[in-house]
Structure 1
Amino acid sequence: MSVPQLPLALRTPPDQRLDSFIDAPAGALAQLQALAQVPGADWLYLSAAHGAGKTHLALAACASAGEAGRAAAYLPLQAARGHAQQALDGLEGNALVVLDGLQAIAGERSDEIALFDFYNRARAAGIGVLYTASDLPDEIGLLLPDLRSRLGQCARIVLRALDDAGRAALLRDRAARRGLALEDAAVDWMLARTAREPARMVELIERLDRASLAAQRRVTVPFLRQVLAGEG
């Protein structure tokens, strides 16, 4: 069985930047920017439930490193499960390495050993590392105590899910970035009747932007009903 080409080549969407993240914990964006752009900054361990924005910040950190002229690599560990050693080999040439979704390799002993070895090599090489996971190191099912201990030494950022005010701010922000005007009634309608995950909400704004441009209409509640009914 062939091994996928990893890490991924990065072409981050323009929405996935540090300054476009809504309702980050105090100081979190500054920590991520420092890790991305400043040699020797604290390594970070970012945890959150599904849909809270881990991958947004993972890719945003890579984009921030690129803006500073620093090489970055992004590795989704779900895609590397069972062959993490091959995926991690050769990453020492980067200034920043982002390992997204640690829980995906938890319980795979060979993958955990490979990650432990990479941790030590990256420390020695002065590489910045950002880990993301669904929970804290002791809670995701890792087998190796030494790996849990190393991960526990990272500075931690814990994301919380957006409340309705945060979701409304996300809708307005993504619409404004596209020059799309949203009536307050349209925002309220979407909050009450559409998917609540941020990624799905962003997809909805993208669809509405295309539909609004094609129809040359503002996004009102009747237009929302029409667009969503047509796609249903």
Structure 2
Amino acid sequence: MTLPRQLALDLPPLTSFSREDFLVSPSNEGAYAFIERWPDWPARRALLIGPTGSGKSHLAAIWSEAAKAVIMPAGLLGDEAVPELVARGAVVLEDAQAGIDETALFHLLNLVGEAGASLLITAHEAPDRWGLGLPDLISRLRAMTVLTIDTPDDDLFRMLLVKLFLDRQLVVDTSVVDFLVRRIERSFDAARQVVAVLDREGLSRGRRITRALAGELLKEVLAQPDESE
């Protein structure tokens, strides 16, 4: 007899962007240390570069709280917003690589420098790979301090998985975490996807999240082989 699956509601996890919840490791400690140094920044402008889900928004939120900065998606930046942003004294532009008004960003960089304001820009890659066409803007971006967040090392990836499970109010055995560290893609996005699938499927199947369930789901749902040691 096949038991019906429970209805799994796709509720968002409780994610904290507090300073206390930021996981520091060799892959991000340089960027974290620089953020903590504010307002002692060269020219008070910095670029924060790292892969999707790497903690850029978390670091930006930590800095925003300290600097009382306004946070804006870079795609919403326009010339009309520049004076007001500069007047706020501190600005975060998120995800600049996704598309940005080059003229407005050029004016923002100039006015931030003149006013002694602070600016933090986040992106997946360095400005040379944004497809920019304004030479003066490219030159100013290249002159900014660049902070990088690298692919997570073993310790950070393990801590990240534990945090993602706890964000969903799930407690799993260390054997599950160790199994996932060895099996899944070493990226923040992959970790989020796997934890979300384990949460949803564990609930719908009425099963605890175990190493066995993780192995099944890697094969069934995530189409990854479960290679036994």
- The alignment's TM-score, normalised by the length of structure 1, stands at 0.67
> For the residues of structure 2 that align with 1:102 and 1:208, how far apart are their CA atoms?
32
> For the residues of structure 2 that align with 1:208 and 1:88, how far apart are their CA atoms?
44
Corresponding residue number in structure 1 for 2:107:
117
> For the residues of structure 2 that align with 1:115 and 1:47, how far apart are their CA atoms?
17
Listed as ranges, the gaps of 5+ residues in structure 2 are 1-13, 223-229
> For the residues of structure 1 that align with 2:125 and 2:30, how far apart are their CA atoms?
20
Conserved in 1, the CA contact under 8 Å of 2:22 and 2:58?
A: no
Q: Is the counterpart of residue 34 in structure 1 residue 41 in structure 2?
A: no
1:221 aligned to 177, 195, 211, which one?
A: 211
Conserved in 2, the CA contact under 8 Å of 1:22 and 1:170?
A: no
- In the TM superposition, residue 115 of structure 1 has moved relative to its aligned partner by 0.7
> For the residues of structure 1 that align with 2:88 and 2:29, how far apart are their CA atoms?
28
Corresponding residue number in structure 2 for 1:143:
133
Q: Deviations over 1:132-163 (max 9, x none)?
A: 22222333222112111211222111221124
Count, aligned residues: 207
Which residue identity does 1:134 align to in structure 2?
A: H
Task: Give the match's secondary structure for 1:44.
Answer: strand
- The alignment's TM-score, normalised by the length of structure 2, stands at 0.68
- In the TM superposition, residue 130 of structure 1 has moved relative to its aligned partner by 0.7
- In the TM superposition, residue 228 of structure 1 has moved relative to its aligned partner by 9.3
Conserved in 2, the CA contact under 8 Å of 1:18 and 1:57?
A: no
> For the residues of structure 1 that align with 2:29 and 2:16, how far apart are their CA atoms?
23
1:92 aligned to 86, 92, 98, which one?
A: 86
> For the residues of structure 2 that align with 1:50 and 1:178, how far apart are their CA atoms?
20
Choose between structure 1 and 2 for higher RCO, CA contacts under 8 A separated by at least 6 residues: 2
Q: Is the counterpart of residue 103 in structure 1 residue 103 in structure 2?
A: no
2:71 aligned to 50, 71, 74, which one?
A: 74
1:169 aligned to 147, 159, 176, which one?
A: 159
Corresponding residue number in structure 2 for 1:153:
143
- The sequence identity of aligned pairs, in percent, is 31
Gap change, CA 1:115 and 1:166, over 3 Å in 2: same
- In the TM superposition, residue 28 of structure 1 has moved relative to its aligned partner by 2.0
- Greater gyration radius: 2
Corresponding residue number in structure 1 for 2:9:
none
Instruction: Judge which range, 26-35 or 39-48, deviates more.
Output: 39-48
Q: Deviations over 1:32-76 (max 9, x none)?
A: 1233xx2766321122233433233223322x32xxxx4211112
Listed as ranges, the gaps of 5+ residues in structure 1 are 1-11
> For the residues of structure 2 that align with 1:178 and 1:103, how far apart are their CA atoms?
30
- In the TM superposition, residue 168 of structure 1 has moved relative to its aligned partner by 1.4
- In the TM superposition, residue 102 of structure 1 has moved relative to its aligned partner by 2.0
2:49 aligned to 37, 47, 50, which one?
A: 47
Gap change, CA 1:74 and 1:209, over 3 Å in 2: same
Conserved in 2, the CA contact under 8 Å of 1:99 and 1:131?
A: yes
Instruction: Judge which range, 118-127 or 193-202, deviates more.
Output: 193-202
Q: Deviations over 1:8-50 (max 9, x none)?
A: xxxx942454751343444321211233xx2766321122233
Gap change, CA 1:175 and 1:192, over 3 Å in 2: same
> For the residues of structure 1 that align with 2:162 and 2:156, how far apart are their CA atoms?
10
Task: Give the match's secondary structure for 2:119.
Answer: strand
Q: Is the counterpart of residue 61 in structure 1 residue 51 in structure 2?
A: no
